Amino acid sequence: MKEVERVKTYGFCTGVARALRILEKEAPIETLHDAVHNPEVAKRLKGKGIVKQDNLSEVQGKAVAIRAHGEPPEVYKQIEKRNLRIVDTTCPIVGRAQKLAHEFANQNFGVIIFGDKKHAEVQGILGNAGDHGIATSCASEAKDFLSHTSHIACLSQTTQRPNTFWSFVLSLPLAPSLKELQAVNTICPEVIRRQEEVAHLILKVELMVIVGGRNSANTQNLARICLDAGKAFQFIENAPGVSKLGPSSNFRVGVASGTSTPSEVVDEVVERIRCLV
Ligand code: SF4
């Protein structure tokens, strides 16, 4: 029997819980792209009449939902052109980052968004900066951009790690023409809390199990914390993944999860690990 300890904070974050509440109230409804980055949740939503469409052209109904990660303003315009009602589930914390990008761009700041430029949330924030913004996780990539702009604002994808954000800001190759640099930490407090809990728990266990969607940025960052600490970890999406845990010797296992992993899935994972002999 394994000794298992899970982090205190697990289950949906407030932003995901809010988005799911809105969608369930509006069901049946189509969402543009995945409502949240978790395959288990996507399956459950489908069963409740909440159907994902990959393109706006595929939407059949009279309304469409915007995901918790948000969308760029251009997408809102396209939806309005089609006269569809918008059910907006953008998380308010993502909305804050979008608003800041828009405000800084309006004041002629160059806006640098620290994060994965291909990620939906980053695309949404970047869209709010119009042609005043770039997104990157590599400071040297911002060199050209910095050489053209006297006022710079730096924001973060909400799921990043604070230390990597501040290291990024400090390593920006600043040009002599720079007059002002404002860095605003837009990382989600719930994400930070989960990261801190993982950082504590890894000190007490031999193996960490991180539960969440492979495409979930905040879950990936929990795994990175284990990786950076040299802690053995397994990244699984659901309870059946536990069977792949490996050797049956007695050891202590820590369990943590991303913000879009349902609490029941974490409970199932914990039970499965306990039952391993
Ligand atoms: S992780 Fe934070 S920013 Fe992302 S949806 Fe949840 S509450 Fe919102």
Shared domain for 168 and 235, answered yes or no, is: no
Residue whose CA is at the smallest distance from ligand 1 atom 5? 15
Report the nearest atom of ligand 1 relative to the CA of 94. Answer: 3
Shared domain for 217 and 266, answered yes or no, is: yes
Decide which of 153, 183, 213 is a domain's last residue.
Answer: 183
Decide which of 62, 90, 118 is a domain's last residue.
Answer: 90
Beta bridge partners of 110: 152
Cβ pair 193, 255 in contact under 8 A: no
Give the mean model confidence (pLDDT) for residues 243-264: 83
Active site residues: 121
Give the mean model confidence (pLDDT) for residues 151-168: 98
Shared domain for 200 and 267, answered yes or no, is: yes
Structure tokens given for 7:
């982090």
Shared domain for 114 and 48, answered yes or no, is: no
Confidence category of residue 226, pLDDT binned at 50, 70, 90: very high
Decide which of 162, 183, 204 is a domain's last residue.
Answer: 183
Shared domain for 264 and 206, answered yes or no, is: yes
The pLDDT tens digits of the residues spanning 143-156 come to 999 998 999 999 99
User: What percent of the chain is predicted at pLDDT more than 90?
Assistant: 88
The pLDDT tens digits of the residues spanning 90-139 come to 999 999 999 999 999 999 999 999 999 999 999 999 999 999 999 999 99
Query: CATH number for the domain including 101?
Result: 3.40.1010.20
pTM: 0.94
Residue 13 beta carbon below 6 angstroms from any ligand 1 atom: yes
- Distance, in Å, from the CA atom of 232 to the CA atom of 208, rounded to the nearest integer, reads 6
Domain count, the chain: 3
Residue 215 beta carbon below 6 angstroms from any ligand 1 atom: no
Residue whose CA is at the smallest distance from ligand 1 atom 4? 15
- What does DSSP assign to residue 240? G
Choice between 90 and 274, residue whose per-residue pLDDT is larger: 90
pLDDT tops 90 at residue 236: yes
Give the mean model confidence (pLDDT) for residues 254-260: 96
pLDDT, averaged across the chain: 94
Residue 91 beta carbon below 6 angstroms from any ligand 1 atom: yes
Report the nearest atom of ligand 1 relative to the CA of 19. Answer: 5
Owning domain of residue 164: 93-183
Cβ pair 220, 213 in contact under 8 A: no
Task: Provide the pLDDT for residue 242.
Answer: 87
Query: CATH number for the domain including 46?
Result: 3.40.50.11270
Shared domain for 100 and 175, answered yes or no, is: yes
DSSP-derived 3-state class of residue 42? helix
Residue 190 beta carbon below 6 angstroms from any ligand 1 atom: yes
H/E element, 211: strand 207-211
Give the mean model confidence (pLDDT) for residues 199-226: 95
Task: Provide the pLDDT for residue 38.
Answer: 84
